[in-house]
A and B are shown apart, each in its own frame.
Chain A
Amino acid sequence: MSVETVTKTAPRNVVDHLDATAYHGNPYPVEEPMREPLVLGNPSLHDVTAKIAGIIEGKPNLKYWIAVLICASIAGAGFGAIGETVMTGIGVWGSNNTIGWAWDITNFVFWIGIGHAGTLISAILYLFRQKWRTAINRSAEAMTIFAVLCAGIFPVIHTGRPWLAYWLTPYPNQMQMWVNFRSPLVWDVFAVSTYLTVSALFWFMGLVPDLATVRNFVKGKIAKRLYTFFSLGWTGSMRNWHHYEIAYMILAGLSTPLVLSVHTIVSMDFATSVLPGWHTTIFPPYFVAGAIFSGFAMVMTLLVIAREILGLKEFITLKHLENMNKIILATGMMVGYAYSMEFFIAWYSGNEYERTVFINRAFGEYWWAYWSMVSCNVLSPQVYWFKKARRNIPLMFVISIFVNIGMWFERFTIISTSLHHDFLPSSWSYYTPTMVEVGIFVGTIGLFLTLFLLFSKYLPVIAISEIKGVMPGSQPTHHGDEHH
C-alpha cells in the first residue's frame, strides 16, 4: 500500500454557517434560533421598563446605604492621604531619586487601563454588531468614566503642586512659554482629557432616551424634575432617532481609535525613553491588550455582584459572562505573548543592559511582583479553555480578582523593576510604599465603588432602549423599502 494515502478531510460543519444565513443582509437579525437568547424569560417591553426603571423608583435598603457609607469613608480617607501629600509634599511617599515613578504612576496606568473595557464594549463591539453588549455597555461605560476620574488624580498629585496642574495645558501666560509638544507627557494630557470628555459625551448621549423613560416612570416630584431636566425633553421621535443612530455610530467609530490611542500614548510615556525595560516597540499593542484584559476583569467583578443584588439575571445572562470570559482568555494570552516576547527580545537584541534588566525583573529583588503578575495574568485565565469554568460564577469572580491584581502588578513590575537598578550601581535602590500612598490608592478604589453604587441606584444600569431593540419580535420582519 502506498504511504501517501490521501485522507479526505470531512466537509466543514455546515451548522457554523447557519448563523450567517439568519442575517438576510439585515444587520439586526430578528431571530437567531441557533443562539442563546439575549434576554431570558421573554418579558414584554413594559416589563423591561418596569424592571430597570423600577430599580431607580424603589427605595434603597439599609444595606445599600451601609455599602455607600463604607465606600465613601474609604474614599474620604484617601482624600485625607491626598491632603497629607499636598500639605507636606511628595516626600511622604516612598518614591526616591532612583525610583521617581512608583506607586502613583502604577495606579494611573492601572485605572486608565480599567476604563478601556468600557469603551471596547460600547464602541468596538457595537461596530462588530455584537448584540450581547447591550446588556453590559451602560455599566461598563460608567465604569470607564469613574476609572478615568480615579486615574486623573495620580498624575495631578504627582506634580507635587496640583494647584498648578493647569500648566500642563497650552495657554497664553505671563511667562510667555508653551508646553513642549515633543513630550509624550504632553500627549498624555491631551489623550486622557479627550478620552474622559468623549467617553462622558457618549455615555450621556446613550443615557438620554433612557432618562426619558425613567422620567415618565418615576413618581416623586423632585425625581421627575431631575430626570426631565437631564432627558432634555426626549420624546422618542423617529426623526430624532434617525439623527441619534448616526451620532451613535460616529461616536462609536471615534471611540474605537481613541481607546487604542490612549493606552498607546500612555505606553509611549515609557517606550520613548531610553531606559532598558521601557524602551521597546511592543509596548503600545501590549499595553492596549493589557488594558482591555484588566478592564474586562473589572467589569466582571462588578457585574457578578450587580446582577445578583439588582436582580438582573434575565438581562445579564450566563451567555454574557461567558463571552466576557472568552475575551479575558484571549487578551490574557496576548499579554502572555508580550511577556515572553519582551524576554526573547532582551536576549536576542544582544544588549547587555536590556538583558540584565529582564533577568533582574524575574529573579531580582522584585521577583515576587513579576511572578505574581505572570501567575495571575497568564496562568489563572487558562481555566477558561473549559466551558464549565467559563460558566461558573464563583470561579469567574475569583479569576477576575486575580486578573485585577495581576494587572496592577504588571504596571508595578514595569515601572519599579526598570528603575530600581540604575545605570550607576551606586544609585541602586529599592522602593516600598508608605501608608500615605497605600491610603491614596485604596481611597481611589473607595471613590470608584462609591460612584458605581450611586450610578447603579440613580441611573438606568442597563440601556433600556437598546435592550428593547434587540428583543425577539421588536424589529419589523421586513424593511419598509423592500416589499416583496
Chain B
Amino acid sequence: MSDKKTVAVLGNFTDPNKIMEAAAKVHQSGYTDFDIYTPYPVHGLDKAMGVKRTILPYISFGGGMFGLSNAIFLIWWTGSVDYKLNIGGKPLFAFQFSIPVMFELTVLLTGLATFFGLWFLCGLPKWHSDLQDDEGFQRAVDDTFVLSIFSSDKRFSLETTERFMNEIGADNVRRIEA
C-alpha cells in the first residue's frame, strides 16, 4: 500500500434514538475529536456530544454594538460637527430622529456579524474534506447519520476504536485513508 494513513473511522446510523445514545457513549468514553454528520439538526444531539455552547451570540452582539455606536457617531458628527444643517431651527442632534437609522445600522451589522461569524466558526467555506469520497459520508446530507472518530484524537487507536464503534451499534464501520 501507499503512504496513506487512516484519518478517521466512520460508522453509519439511521435511527435518531440510536445516534443519540451513541453520541453520549462516545462523549462519555472521553473522545473529543469526533463528529456526527446529519441531514438535519437532531435536537439534543449537540448536548449529548458534549459540544460547548457556541460563542456566536457574542460575535453578533459585538457586531450590533459596532453598528449602533457607528450610527450614533455618524449622525452626530455629520449633522452637528462637520456640516451644521439647520432645518427649521431644530436641534442639530437628537436621539428621537436618530432612532430609525440607529436601529437599522444595528440590525445590519448584527446580521453581517452573525452571518460571517457563523461561517468563521464552522470553518467554512472549505471545499475539501478527507471524508468526501466516502459514499456513506455523502449520504449524510441525505438520509444517514454518520459518526466519525478522527485519528487525531488522543484516545484513538485503530482496533479499539473500531471495536468501540461496533459496540455502540454503528453499521458498516470503516476506515478512511488520506
Contacts and interface: CB of A to CB of B under 8 A. Distances in A.
Interface of A: 26-28, 44-46, 49, 170, 176-182, 184, 186-187, 190-191, 193-194, 197-198, 201-202, 205, 209, 212-213, 215-217, 228-229, 232-247, 250-251, 254, 257-258, 261, 265, 268, 465-466, 468-469, 473-482
B7 interface: no
B129 to A, nearest CB: 6
B123 to A, nearest CB: 8
Interface in B124-147: 124-129, 131, 137-143
A247 B104 contact: no
A284 to B, nearest CB: 11
B37 A190 contact: no
Given A216-B142, A254-B107, A480 B124 contact: no
Given A238-B35, A247-B115, A45 B143 contact: yes
B152 interface: no
A481 B24 CA distance: 8
Top-5 shortest CB links A-B: A480-B48, A45-B143, A479-B44, A178-B78, A232-B125
A245 B57 CA distance: 11
Main secondary structure on A side of the interface with B: helix
Interface of B: 16-17, 19-21, 23-24, 35-49, 51, 54, 56-57, 60, 74-75, 78-79, 82-83, 85, 87, 90, 97-98, 100-101, 103-105, 107-108, 110-112, 114-115, 117-119, 121-122, 124-129, 131, 137-143
Contacts of B44: 476, 479-482
A246 B105 contact: no
A240 B122 contact: yes
18 contacts: A177-B83, A178-B85, A181-B75, A215-B141, A216-B141, A238-B38, A238-B42, A238-B51, A239-B122, A247-B56, A247-B114, A250-B57, A250-B60, A254-B111, A257-B103, A257-B107, A475-B16, A477-B17
Given A170-B78, A236-B37, A190 B119 contact: no
A479 B47 CA distance: 9
A235 B39 CA distance: 9
Contacts of A250: 56-57, 60, 110, 114
A187 B101 contact: yes
B85 to A, nearest CB: 6
Contacts of A239: 35, 46, 49, 51, 122
B36 A234 contact: no
Contact of B103 (A233, A247, A261, A477): A261
Nearest to A214: B141
Contacts of A246: 54, 56-57
Contacts of B24: 480
Contact of A476 (B42, B78, B142): B42
Given A238-B49, A246-B57, A261 B100 contact: yes
